[in-house]
């Protein structure tokens, strides 16, 4: 059971727009901690896609965007391409009575139809 909740899968046709949600709680996203997103292509290490809720590292296409509101965050991908088929993970920081730690969502598999 991941601390951050993501849908197991989403899909879309080439050229379409898809969104992936990431739901947390008052001890992580709701506490004001930033949300970051990673793309993991099959058989490879995760790659930073979005940091600080909505910032893109150099080299990441502007088709990828992130937002955060309350205890949730979203990753949007516009102009879907076949190469976007991958697993996507959100990440934040959690601070509770049991301790503090970086936490991930369970991951969402994006299928390009």
Q: Is there binding between residue 45 and another protein (CB under 8 A)?
A: yes
Strands 86-96 and 64-69 turn out to be unpaired
Q: Which of 13, 42, 44, 62 binds another protein (CB under 8 A)?
A: 44
Q: Among residue numbers 51 through 80, which ones bind another protein (CB under 8 A)?
A: 51-52, 55, 57
Minimum Å gap between C-beta 13 and another protein is 26
Stretch that binds another protein, among 13-21, 42-50, 60-68, 72-80 (CB under 8 A): 42-50
Minimum Å gap between C-beta 14 and another protein is 27
The whole-angstrom separation of Cα 61 and Cα 49 is: 9
Q: Is there binding between residue 34 and another protein (CB under 8 A)?
A: yes
Q: What is the largest CA-CA distance in the chain?
A: 45
CB-based contact 35:68 (threshold 8 Å): yes
The whole-angstrom separation of Cα 55 and Cα 23 is: 19
Strands 72-77 and 18-23 turn out to be antiparallel
Minimum Å gap between C-beta 37 and another protein is 9
């Amino acid at each position: 059971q991941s601390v951050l909740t993501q849908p197991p899968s989403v899909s879309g046709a080439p050229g379409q727009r898809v969104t992936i949600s990431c739901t947390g709680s008052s001890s992580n996203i709701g506490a004001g901690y930033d949300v970051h997103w990673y793309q993991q292509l099959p058989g490879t290490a995760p790659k930073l896609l979005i940091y600080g809720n909505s910032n893109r590292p150099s080299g990441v296409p502007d088709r990828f965007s992130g937002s955060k509101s309350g205890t949730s965050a979203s990753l949007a991908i516009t102009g879907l391409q076949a190469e976007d088929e991958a697993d996507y993970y959100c990440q934040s920081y959690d601070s509770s009575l049991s301790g503090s730690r970086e936490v991930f969502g369970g991951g969402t598999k994006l299928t390009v139809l």
